[in-house]
Amino acid sequence: MTEQSPSRRPGPRIAASVAPSTNSHLTITDVTKNFGSQAVLKGVNLSVAKGSTTAIVGPSGSGKTTLLRLIAGFEHPATGNISLNGSKVAGDGVWLPAHKRHIGYVAQDGALFPHLSVGQNIAFGLDARKLPGGRSAVQARISELLAMVSLDEGMSRRRPHQLSGGQQQRVALARALAREPELMLLDEPFSALDAGLRVATRRAVAKVLAEAGVTTILVTHDQAEALSFADQVAVMRGGKLAQIGNPFVVYTKPVDRETAEFLGDAVILDAWMEGTLATCSLGGIPVRRPPAQGLVQLMLRPEQIRIAEDGPIRGVVVDTDYFGPETTVRLKLAVPPELANGTDHRYPGGGEIITIRHWNASIARPGMELCLRVVGEGVAFPLDPAAA
Strand partners, 190: none
Q: Average pLDDT, stretch 16-24? A: 56
How many residues are given for the chain?
388
Per mean pLDDT, which range of 6-10, 110-114, 359-363, 383-387 is the poorest? 6-10
pLDDT of residue 385: 59
pLDDT of residue 338: 58
**Burial of 230 per CB tally in 10 Å (0-12, 13-18, 19+):** buried
Longest dimension (CA), the chain: 87
Per mean pLDDT, which range of 136-150, 240-254, 371-385 is the poorest? 136-150
Q: Average pLDDT, stretch 108-131? A: 82
**Among candidates 207, 236, 280, which has minimal Cα distance to 61?**
236
Decide if pLDDT at 5 tops 60.
no
Q: Residues 244, 195, 55, CA angle at the centre, nearest 5°?
A: 15
Amino acid at the residue 257? R
Average pLDDT over the chain, rounded to an integer:
87
Decide if pLDDT at 268 tops 50.
yes
pLDDT of residue 128: 66
Architecture per CATH, 2-102+181-252:
3-Layer(aba) Sandwich (3.40)
Q: Average pLDDT, stretch 183-205? A: 84
Decide if pLDDT at 239 tops 90.
yes
Residue 351: pLDDT band by 50, 70, 90 thresholds?
confident
Tens digits of residue pLDDT in 289-325 = 999 999 999 999 999 999 999 999 999 999 999 988 8
Q: Average pLDDT, stretch 198-224? A: 88
Write the secondary structure of the chain as one string of H (helix), E (strand) and C (coil): CEECCCCCCCCCCCCCCCCCCCCEEEEEEEEEEEECCEEEEEEEEEEEECCCEEEEECCCCCCHHHHHHHHHCCCCCCEEEEEECCEEEEECCEECCHHHCCEEEECCCCCCCCCCCHHHHHHCCCCHHHCCCCHHHHHHHHHHHHHHCCCCHHHHHCCHHHCCHHHHHHHHHHHHHCCCCCEEEEECCCCCCCHHHHHHHHHHHHHHHHHHCCEEEEEECCHHHHHHHCCEEEEEECCEEEEEECHHHHHHCCCCHHHHHHCCCEEEEEEEEECCEEEECCEEEEECCCCCCEEEEEEECHHHEEECCCCCEEEEEEEEEECCCCEEEEEEECCCHHHHCCCCCCCCCCCCEEEEEECCHHHCCCCCEEEEEECCCEEEEECCHHHC
Decide if pLDDT at 347 tops 80.
no
Residues contacting residue 6 through CB under 8 Å, at least 6 positions apart: none
Decide if pLDDT at 211 tops 90.
no
Decide if pLDDT at 14 tops 50.
no
Decide if pLDDT at 8 tops 60.
no
pLDDT of residue 19: 43
Instruction: Quote the crossing angle between the two packed helices 165-177 and 195-212, to the nearest 10°.
Output: 20
- pLDDT > 90: what percent of the chain? 59
pLDDT of residue 43: 96
CB atoms < 10 A from the CB of 96, how many?
A: 15
Residue 179: pLDDT band by 50, 70, 90 thresholds?
confident
- pLDDT > 70: what percent of the chain? 87
Domain limits, CATH 3.40.50.300, in the chain: 2-102+181-252
Residue of higher predicted confidence among 6 and 302: 302
pLDDT of residue 20: 44
Tens digits of residue pLDDT in 64-105 = 999 999 999 999 999 999 999 999 999 999 999 999 999 999
Decide if pLDDT at 244 tops 90.
yes
pLDDT of residue 340: 59
Decide if pLDDT at 118 tops 60.
yes
pLDDT of residue 7: 41
Residue 274: pLDDT band by 50, 70, 90 thresholds?
very high
Q: Average pLDDT, stretch 354-359? A: 90
